[in-house]
Protein backbone atom coordinates (compact mmCIF):
# COMPACT_ATOMS: atom_id res chain seq x y z
CA UNK A 1 0.00 0.00 0.00
CA UNK A 2 1.08 3.57 -0.63
CA UNK A 3 2.68 5.43 2.30
CA UNK A 4 -0.16 7.97 2.21
CA UNK A 5 -2.50 5.21 3.42
CA UNK A 6 -0.48 4.79 6.62
CA UNK A 7 -0.25 8.54 7.16
CA UNK A 8 -4.03 8.86 6.79
CA UNK A 9 -4.44 6.15 9.43
CA UNK A 10 -2.13 7.97 11.83
CA UNK A 11 -4.02 11.21 11.25
CA UNK A 12 -7.32 9.45 11.89
CA UNK A 13 -5.98 7.94 15.12
CA UNK A 14 -4.78 11.35 16.28
CA UNK A 15 -8.28 12.72 15.69
CA UNK A 16 -9.73 9.91 17.82
CA UNK A 17 -7.29 10.51 20.68
CA UNK A 18 -7.70 12.92 23.55
CA UNK A 19 -4.76 15.28 24.07
CA UNK A 20 -1.78 13.12 24.92
CA UNK A 21 0.98 10.92 23.52
CA UNK A 22 0.54 7.49 21.96
CA UNK A 23 3.44 5.04 21.84
CA UNK A 24 3.35 1.82 19.82
CA UNK A 25 6.27 -0.55 19.60
CA UNK A 26 6.66 -3.24 17.00
CA UNK A 27 7.10 -6.86 18.04
CA UNK A 28 10.39 -8.09 19.46
CA UNK A 29 12.45 -10.93 18.02
CA UNK A 30 11.36 -14.23 19.55
CA UNK A 31 13.87 -16.93 20.43
CA UNK A 32 13.19 -20.39 19.05
CA UNK A 33 15.92 -22.04 21.08
CA UNK A 34 19.29 -20.94 22.43
CA UNK A 35 20.48 -18.31 19.91
CA UNK A 36 18.11 -19.24 17.06
CA UNK A 37 15.24 -16.85 16.34
CA UNK A 38 11.83 -17.24 14.75
CA UNK A 39 11.26 -15.27 11.53
CA UNK A 40 10.27 -11.73 12.45
CA UNK A 41 6.77 -10.37 11.92
CA UNK A 42 5.85 -6.81 12.97
CA UNK A 43 3.21 -6.05 15.55
CA UNK A 44 -0.06 -5.76 13.59
CA UNK A 45 -1.19 -2.43 15.08
CA UNK A 46 2.28 -0.94 14.58
CA UNK A 47 2.37 -2.09 10.95
CA UNK A 48 -1.19 -0.83 10.37
CA UNK A 49 -0.06 2.68 11.32
CA UNK A 50 3.39 2.74 9.72
CA UNK A 51 3.90 0.15 6.97
CA UNK A 52 7.36 -0.32 8.52
CA UNK A 53 8.51 -3.94 8.65
CA UNK A 54 11.77 -3.86 10.65
CA UNK A 55 12.11 -4.85 14.28
CA UNK A 56 13.48 -2.59 17.05
CA UNK A 57 11.24 0.31 16.06
CA UNK A 58 8.66 2.55 17.78
CA UNK A 59 6.07 5.07 16.60
CA UNK A 60 5.07 8.06 18.75
CA UNK A 61 2.03 10.25 18.05
CA UNK A 62 1.62 13.53 19.94
CA UNK A 63 -1.56 15.60 20.19
CA UNK A 64 -2.18 18.91 21.92
CA UNK A 65 -5.22 20.75 20.65
CA UNK A 66 -4.82 21.24 16.91
CA UNK A 67 -1.08 20.49 17.05
CA UNK A 68 -0.14 16.97 15.93
CA UNK A 69 3.26 15.35 15.52
CA UNK A 70 4.30 11.86 14.38
CA UNK A 71 7.73 10.43 15.18
CA UNK A 72 9.35 7.16 14.10
CA UNK A 73 12.28 5.49 15.84
CA UNK A 74 14.24 2.89 13.85
CA UNK A 75 17.30 0.75 14.22
CA UNK A 76 20.39 2.71 13.23
CA UNK A 77 22.57 1.35 10.45
CA UNK A 78 25.42 -0.68 11.95
CA UNK A 79 27.58 -2.38 9.28
CA UNK A 80 28.85 -5.03 11.71
CA UNK A 81 25.27 -6.08 12.52
CA UNK A 82 24.15 -5.94 8.90
CA UNK A 83 26.87 -8.43 8.00
CA UNK A 84 24.96 -11.01 10.04
CA UNK A 85 21.32 -9.96 9.90
CA UNK A 86 20.95 -8.02 6.67
CA UNK A 87 20.74 -4.41 5.56
CA UNK A 88 18.68 -1.92 7.54
CA UNK A 89 16.84 1.06 6.14
CA UNK A 90 18.34 3.38 8.74
CA UNK A 91 17.33 6.85 9.88
CA UNK A 92 18.04 8.86 6.72
CA UNK A 93 16.33 6.45 4.32
CA UNK A 94 13.36 6.14 6.67
CA UNK A 95 13.02 9.94 6.63
CA UNK A 96 12.92 9.86 2.82
CA UNK A 97 10.55 6.91 2.50
CA UNK A 98 8.02 7.41 5.29
CA UNK A 99 5.81 10.44 5.90
CA UNK A 100 6.78 11.17 9.51
CA UNK A 101 7.47 14.59 10.96
CA UNK A 102 10.62 13.29 12.61
CA UNK A 103 12.72 10.10 12.46
CA UNK A 104 15.37 9.13 15.01
CA UNK A 105 17.59 6.21 15.85
CA UNK A 106 16.17 3.83 18.46
CA UNK A 107 19.15 4.43 20.76
CA UNK A 108 17.87 7.95 21.38
CA UNK A 109 14.36 6.80 22.32
CA UNK A 110 14.71 7.14 26.09
CA UNK A 111 16.08 10.66 25.85
CA UNK A 112 13.68 11.81 23.12
CA UNK A 113 10.58 10.41 24.79
CA UNK A 114 11.21 12.65 27.81
CA UNK A 115 10.81 15.68 25.56
CA UNK A 116 7.87 14.22 23.65
CA UNK A 117 5.76 13.45 26.74
CA UNK A 118 6.66 16.63 28.60
CA UNK A 119 3.61 18.89 29.06
CA UNK A 120 1.27 15.91 28.53
CA UNK A 121 -0.75 14.19 31.26
CA UNK A 122 -2.08 11.24 29.23
CA UNK A 123 -0.09 8.35 27.76
CA UNK A 124 -1.56 5.80 25.33
CA UNK A 125 0.20 2.47 24.83
CA UNK A 126 -0.54 -1.26 24.83
CA UNK A 127 -1.40 -1.59 28.52
CA UNK A 128 -1.59 -5.37 28.48
CA UNK A 129 1.63 -6.00 26.53
CA UNK A 130 4.88 -6.76 28.36
CA UNK A 131 7.08 -5.24 25.64
CA UNK A 132 10.20 -3.74 27.22
CA UNK A 133 9.53 -0.40 25.49
CA UNK A 134 6.37 0.06 27.55
CA UNK A 135 8.19 -0.79 30.77
CA UNK A 136 10.79 1.79 29.77
CA UNK A 137 8.05 4.31 29.03
CA UNK A 138 6.44 3.86 32.45
CA UNK A 139 9.83 4.25 34.13
CA UNK A 140 10.42 7.54 32.30
CA UNK A 141 6.94 8.78 33.26
CA UNK A 142 7.53 7.89 36.91
CA UNK A 143 10.92 9.62 36.89
CA UNK A 144 9.41 12.79 35.43
CA UNK A 145 6.70 12.75 38.07
CA UNK A 146 9.39 13.18 40.74
CA UNK A 147 11.69 15.51 38.79
CA UNK A 148 12.00 19.06 40.07
CA UNK A 149 11.10 21.70 37.54
CA UNK A 150 8.68 19.41 35.66
CA UNK A 151 5.21 20.75 36.39
CA UNK A 152 3.20 18.67 33.88
CA UNK A 153 3.89 14.99 33.26
CA UNK A 154 1.89 11.82 32.50
CA UNK A 155 -0.38 10.77 35.35
CA UNK A 156 -2.92 8.65 33.48
CA UNK A 157 -2.65 5.77 31.02
CA UNK A 158 -5.00 4.45 28.35
CA UNK A 159 -4.93 1.35 26.15
CA UNK A 160 -4.19 2.45 22.57
CA UNK A 161 -5.46 -0.87 21.18
CA UNK A 162 -9.01 0.17 22.05
CA UNK A 163 -8.70 2.74 19.27
CA UNK A 164 -6.47 0.91 16.77
CA UNK A 165 -8.54 -2.25 16.82
CA UNK A 166 -11.71 -0.24 16.36
CA UNK A 167 -10.09 1.30 13.27
CA UNK A 168 -9.08 -2.11 11.93
CA UNK A 169 -12.66 -3.40 12.04
CA UNK A 170 -13.59 -1.79 8.70
CA UNK A 171 -11.33 -2.91 5.85
CA UNK A 172 -10.38 -0.56 3.03
CA UNK A 173 -10.41 -1.62 -0.62
CA UNK A 174 -6.61 -2.04 -0.42
CA UNK A 175 -6.94 -4.37 2.56
CA UNK A 176 -9.67 -6.43 0.87
CA UNK A 177 -7.43 -6.76 -2.20
CA UNK A 178 -4.63 -8.23 -0.05
CA UNK A 179 -7.05 -10.66 1.61
CA UNK A 180 -8.30 -11.70 -1.84
CA UNK A 181 -4.74 -12.34 -2.98
CA UNK A 182 -4.10 -14.46 0.12
CA UNK A 183 -7.28 -16.39 -0.68
CA UNK A 184 -6.30 -16.86 -4.31
CA UNK A 185 -3.11 -18.57 -3.17
CA UNK A 186 -4.97 -20.54 -0.51
CA UNK A 187 -7.45 -21.72 -3.15
CA UNK A 188 -4.61 -23.05 -5.29
CA UNK A 189 -3.11 -24.79 -2.27
CA UNK A 190 -6.35 -26.55 -1.29
CA UNK A 191 -6.98 -27.79 -4.83
CA UNK A 192 -3.34 -28.86 -5.23
CA UNK A 193 -3.43 -30.82 -1.97
CA UNK A 194 -6.82 -32.42 -2.63
CA UNK A 195 -5.39 -33.99 -5.79
CA UNK A 196 -2.36 -35.31 -3.94
CA UNK A 197 -4.11 -36.66 -0.86
CA UNK A 198 -4.00 -40.44 -0.73
CA UNK A 199 -4.45 -43.38 1.63
CA UNK A 200 -1.26 -44.13 3.57
CA UNK A 201 0.05 -40.57 3.42
CA UNK A 202 1.12 -39.05 6.71
CA UNK A 203 -0.72 -35.93 7.80
CA UNK A 204 2.45 -33.84 7.74
CA UNK A 205 3.08 -34.92 4.14
CA UNK A 206 -0.28 -33.45 3.16
CA UNK A 207 0.60 -30.35 5.20
CA UNK A 208 3.77 -30.00 3.12
CA UNK A 209 1.70 -29.85 -0.07
CA UNK A 210 -0.18 -26.82 1.27
CA UNK A 211 2.89 -25.01 2.51
CA UNK A 212 4.76 -25.70 -0.73
CA UNK A 213 2.02 -23.92 -2.72
CA UNK A 214 1.92 -21.02 -0.25
CA UNK A 215 5.61 -20.26 -0.71
CA UNK A 216 5.65 -21.07 -4.41
CA UNK A 217 2.98 -18.43 -5.05
CA UNK A 218 4.60 -15.72 -2.94
CA UNK A 219 2.95 -16.15 0.45
CA UNK A 220 6.02 -16.61 2.59
CA UNK A 221 4.10 -17.52 5.72
CA UNK A 222 1.05 -19.46 6.73
CA UNK A 223 -1.47 -17.38 8.67
CA UNK A 224 -1.55 -19.95 11.50
CA UNK A 225 -0.33 -23.48 12.14
CA UNK A 226 -2.00 -25.74 9.60
CA UNK A 227 -4.39 -28.39 10.91
CA UNK A 228 -4.35 -31.72 9.06
CA UNK A 229 -6.71 -33.95 11.03
CA UNK A 230 -7.50 -37.38 9.66
CA UNK A 231 -10.40 -39.41 11.03
CA UNK A 232 -11.11 -38.99 14.73
CA UNK A 233 -8.33 -36.39 15.09
CA UNK A 234 -10.75 -33.88 13.53
CA UNK A 235 -12.64 -33.96 16.82
CA UNK A 236 -9.75 -32.13 18.48
CA UNK A 237 -10.48 -28.57 17.37
CA UNK A 238 -6.91 -27.26 17.37
CA UNK A 239 -5.16 -30.49 16.41
CA UNK A 240 -1.67 -29.65 15.09
CA UNK A 241 0.38 -32.80 15.72
CA UNK A 242 -0.22 -33.78 12.08
CA UNK A 243 1.73 -37.03 12.47
CA UNK A 244 -0.84 -39.80 11.86
CA UNK A 245 -1.57 -41.94 8.81
CA UNK A 246 -4.46 -40.94 6.57
CA UNK A 247 -6.63 -44.03 6.34
CA UNK A 248 -9.02 -45.65 3.89
CA UNK A 249 -12.65 -44.68 4.46
CA UNK A 250 -11.88 -41.66 6.64
CA UNK A 251 -12.27 -37.94 6.16
CA UNK A 252 -9.47 -35.42 6.61
CA UNK A 253 -10.27 -31.98 8.02
CA UNK A 254 -7.81 -29.37 6.76
CA UNK A 255 -7.71 -25.88 8.26
CA UNK A 256 -5.08 -24.03 6.21
CA UNK A 257 -4.60 -20.47 5.04
CA UNK A 258 -1.69 -18.28 4.04
CA UNK A 259 -0.72 -14.70 4.85
CA UNK A 260 -0.04 -12.25 2.04
CA UNK A 261 1.24 -8.74 2.70
CA UNK A 262 0.61 -9.55 6.38
CA UNK A 263 -3.11 -10.13 5.69
CA UNK A 264 -4.62 -13.50 6.54
CA UNK A 265 -6.86 -16.07 4.92
CA UNK A 266 -8.55 -18.79 6.97
CA UNK A 267 -10.13 -21.74 5.18
CA UNK A 268 -11.30 -25.16 6.33
CA UNK A 269 -12.30 -27.94 4.00
CA UNK A 270 -13.16 -31.53 4.90
CA UNK A 271 -12.78 -34.22 2.25
CA UNK A 272 -12.41 -38.01 1.88
CA UNK A 273 -8.89 -39.38 2.04
CA UNK A 274 -9.71 -41.71 -0.88
CA UNK A 275 -11.67 -39.01 -2.76
CA UNK A 276 -15.17 -40.53 -2.33
CA UNK A 277 -17.59 -39.79 0.50
CA UNK A 278 -19.34 -42.72 2.20
CA UNK A 279 -23.14 -42.40 2.52
CA UNK A 280 -22.87 -41.49 6.24
CA UNK A 281 -20.14 -38.95 5.59
CA UNK A 282 -22.10 -37.44 2.71
CA UNK A 283 -25.32 -36.92 4.68
CA UNK A 284 -23.49 -35.28 7.58
CA UNK A 285 -21.39 -33.17 5.25
CA UNK A 286 -24.40 -31.94 3.30
CA UNK A 287 -26.15 -31.05 6.55
CA UNK A 288 -23.20 -28.88 7.69
CA UNK A 289 -22.90 -27.34 4.23
CA UNK A 290 -26.60 -26.48 4.19
CA UNK A 291 -26.20 -24.74 7.55
CA UNK A 292 -23.22 -22.76 6.28
CA UNK A 293 -24.99 -21.63 3.12
CA UNK A 294 -28.07 -20.51 5.05
CA UNK A 295 -25.97 -18.60 7.61
CA UNK A 296 -23.99 -16.83 4.87
CA UNK A 297 -27.22 -15.91 3.09
CA UNK A 298 -28.44 -14.25 6.30
CA UNK A 299 -25.46 -11.87 6.59
CA UNK A 300 -26.15 -8.21 5.89
CA UNK A 301 -25.47 -4.77 7.40
CA UNK A 302 -27.39 -4.32 10.64
CA UNK A 303 -27.13 -7.98 11.62
CA UNK A 304 -24.86 -9.35 14.33
CA UNK A 305 -22.59 -12.27 15.09
CA UNK A 306 -24.82 -13.17 18.05
CA UNK A 307 -27.79 -13.62 15.69
CA UNK A 308 -25.71 -15.80 13.36
CA UNK A 309 -24.55 -17.92 16.29
CA UNK A 310 -28.12 -18.57 17.43
CA UNK A 311 -29.25 -19.30 13.86
CA UNK A 312 -26.41 -21.76 13.23
CA UNK A 313 -26.98 -23.57 16.52
CA UNK A 314 -30.68 -23.98 15.77
CA UNK A 315 -30.01 -25.37 12.29
CA UNK A 316 -27.29 -27.73 13.49
CA UNK A 317 -29.45 -28.96 16.34
CA UNK A 318 -32.30 -29.68 13.93
CA UNK A 319 -29.86 -31.66 11.81
CA UNK A 320 -28.53 -33.60 14.77
CA UNK A 321 -32.06 -34.54 15.82
CA UNK A 322 -32.87 -35.66 12.28
CA UNK A 323 -29.84 -37.96 12.24
CA UNK A 324 -30.40 -39.38 15.73
CA UNK A 325 -27.34 -37.71 17.22
CA UNK A 326 -29.50 -35.81 19.69
CA UNK A 327 -32.95 -36.80 21.01
CA UNK A 328 -35.67 -34.43 22.11
CA UNK A 329 -37.33 -31.17 21.16
CA UNK A 330 -35.06 -28.70 19.39
CA UNK A 331 -35.92 -25.72 21.61
CA UNK A 332 -35.40 -27.73 24.80
CA UNK A 333 -32.05 -29.06 23.52
CA UNK A 334 -30.95 -25.52 22.71
CA UNK A 335 -31.99 -24.35 26.16
CA UNK A 336 -29.97 -27.18 27.72
CA UNK A 337 -27.06 -26.44 25.35
CA UNK A 338 -27.00 -30.15 24.48
CA UNK A 339 -25.69 -29.27 21.01
CA UNK A 340 -22.51 -27.78 22.50
CA UNK A 341 -21.09 -31.27 22.95
CA UNK A 342 -20.91 -31.62 19.17
CA UNK A 343 -20.62 -27.95 18.11
CA UNK A 344 -18.68 -26.20 20.89
CA UNK A 345 -17.22 -23.20 19.06
CA UNK A 346 -18.40 -19.91 17.60
CA UNK A 347 -19.78 -19.53 14.11
CA UNK A 348 -16.91 -17.24 13.11
CA UNK A 349 -14.53 -14.42 13.96
CA UNK A 350 -13.11 -11.20 12.53
CA UNK A 351 -10.19 -11.61 10.14
CA UNK A 352 -7.60 -9.23 8.70
CA UNK A 353 -4.03 -8.45 9.72
CA UNK A 354 -4.45 -11.22 12.28
CA UNK A 355 -6.24 -14.44 11.46
CA UNK A 356 -8.30 -13.78 14.59
CA UNK A 357 -8.43 -10.00 14.26
CA UNK A 358 -8.68 -8.64 17.83
CA UNK A 359 -11.36 -6.13 16.87
CA UNK A 360 -14.28 -5.51 19.24
CA UNK A 361 -17.52 -7.49 19.12
CA UNK A 362 -19.37 -5.12 21.46
CA UNK A 363 -19.36 -1.42 22.32
CA UNK A 364 -18.49 0.26 25.63
CA UNK A 365 -21.99 -0.50 26.92
CA UNK A 366 -21.59 -4.19 26.17
CA UNK A 367 -24.04 -4.07 23.27
CA UNK A 368 -23.26 -6.24 20.26
CA UNK A 369 -21.73 -4.35 17.35
CA UNK A 370 -23.87 -4.53 14.23
CA UNK A 371 -22.42 -5.52 10.88
CA UNK A 372 -21.21 -2.73 8.60
CA UNK A 373 -19.93 -2.64 5.06
CA UNK A 374 -16.22 -3.48 4.98
CA UNK A 375 -16.10 -5.94 7.88
CA UNK A 376 -14.51 -9.33 7.13
CA UNK A 377 -15.30 -12.46 9.11
CA UNK A 378 -15.19 -16.24 8.87
CA UNK A 379 -18.24 -18.49 8.82
CA UNK A 380 -17.39 -22.01 10.00
CA UNK A 381 -20.12 -24.36 11.24
CA UNK A 382 -19.01 -27.84 12.20
CA UNK A 383 -19.97 -31.11 13.79
CA UNK A 384 -17.59 -33.24 15.88
CA UNK A 385 -18.58 -36.81 16.72
CA UNK A 386 -15.97 -38.64 18.79
CA UNK A 387 -15.02 -42.26 18.31
CA UNK A 388 -16.88 -44.68 20.62
CA UNK A 389 -19.58 -42.17 21.61
CA UNK A 390 -22.35 -44.67 22.31
CA UNK A 391 -24.99 -41.94 22.43
CA UNK A 392 -24.80 -41.44 18.67
CA UNK A 393 -25.34 -43.88 15.75
CA UNK A 394 -22.23 -46.00 15.21
CA UNK A 395 -21.99 -45.08 11.51
CA UNK A 396 -21.07 -41.53 12.55
CA UNK A 397 -18.34 -42.43 15.05
CA UNK A 398 -15.06 -40.63 14.53
CA UNK A 399 -16.37 -38.10 12.00
CA UNK A 400 -15.44 -34.44 12.34
CA UNK A 401 -16.55 -31.91 9.72
CA UNK A 402 -15.96 -28.16 9.49
CA UNK A 403 -16.55 -25.92 6.47
CA UNK A 404 -15.09 -22.43 6.67
CA UNK A 405 -15.19 -19.47 4.29
CA UNK A 406 -14.15 -15.81 4.50
CA UNK A 407 -16.97 -13.30 4.13
CA UNK A 408 -16.91 -9.58 3.28
CA UNK A 409 -19.94 -7.60 4.43
CA UNK A 410 -21.13 -5.39 1.57
CA UNK A 411 -23.59 -2.52 1.21
CA UNK A 412 -26.50 -4.84 0.37
CA UNK A 413 -25.45 -8.14 1.95
CA UNK A 414 -22.17 -10.02 1.75
CA UNK A 415 -19.60 -11.54 -0.61
CA UNK A 416 -18.01 -14.94 -0.09
CA UNK A 417 -14.38 -14.14 -0.87
CA UNK A 418 -13.45 -17.84 -0.93
CA UNK A 419 -16.34 -19.18 -3.01
CA UNK A 420 -13.93 -20.53 -5.64
CA UNK A 421 -12.61 -23.26 -3.32
CA UNK A 422 -14.29 -26.62 -3.93
CA UNK A 423 -16.98 -27.18 -1.31
CA UNK A 424 -19.96 -29.25 -2.49
CA UNK A 425 -19.68 -33.04 -2.44
CA UNK A 426 -19.48 -33.16 -6.25
CA UNK A 427 -16.89 -30.37 -6.42
CA UNK A 428 -14.70 -32.05 -3.82
CA UNK A 429 -14.88 -35.48 -5.42
CA UNK A 430 -13.87 -33.96 -8.76
CA UNK A 431 -11.05 -31.95 -7.13
CA UNK A 432 -9.74 -35.07 -5.40
CA UNK A 433 -9.48 -37.04 -8.67
| 8-state DSSP, 241 | -
Q: Percentages helix, strand, coil for the chain, rounded to the nearest 5?
A: 40, 20, 40
Which of 18, 374, 9, 362 shows the shortest CA–CA distance to 164? Answer: 9
Beta bridge partners of 104: 73
Please give the Cα distance from 347 to 265 (Å, whole number): 16
Tell me if residue 303 falls in helix, strand or coil: coil
CA 388 to mean position of chain CA atoms:
34
φ and ψ at residue 331, rounded to 5 degrees = -65, -40
Distances (CA, A) of 288 to 62, 319, 336, 382, 401: 51, 8, 21, 6, 8
Q: Which distant-in-sequence residues (6+ apart) come within 8 Å of 388 by Cβ?
A: 397
The angle that helices 305-322 and 279-297 make with each other, rounded to 10 degrees, is 150
Residues with catalytic function: 35, 238, 255, 266, 345, 349, 356, 380, 384, 402, 404
Q: How far apart are CA 256 and CA 262, in angstroms?
A: 16
For 35-95, give the DSSP string. Answer: TEEPPP---HHHHHHH----SS-EEEEEEETTEEEEEEEEPPP-HHHHHHH----HHHHHH
Q: Which among 338, 344, 426, 414 is positioned nearest to 375, based on CA atoms?
A: 414
Beta strands in 284-432 (DSSP E): 376-379, 382-385, 399-402, 405-409, 414-416
Number of Cβ within a 10 Å radius of residue 307: 17
Amino acid sequence: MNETVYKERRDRLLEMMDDGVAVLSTAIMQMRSNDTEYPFRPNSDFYYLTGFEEDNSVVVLCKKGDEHKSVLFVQEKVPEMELWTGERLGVEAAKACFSFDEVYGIKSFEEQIKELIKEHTLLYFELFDDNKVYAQLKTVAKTMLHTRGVTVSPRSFSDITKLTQQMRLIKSDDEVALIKQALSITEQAHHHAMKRCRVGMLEYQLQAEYEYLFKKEGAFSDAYTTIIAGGNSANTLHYIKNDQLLKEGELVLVDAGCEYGFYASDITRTYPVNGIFTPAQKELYNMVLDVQLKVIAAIKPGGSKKELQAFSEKLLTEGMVAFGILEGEVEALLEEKAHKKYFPHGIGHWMGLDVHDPCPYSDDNGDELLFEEGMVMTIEPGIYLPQDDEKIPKKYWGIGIRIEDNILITKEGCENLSQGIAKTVDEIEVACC
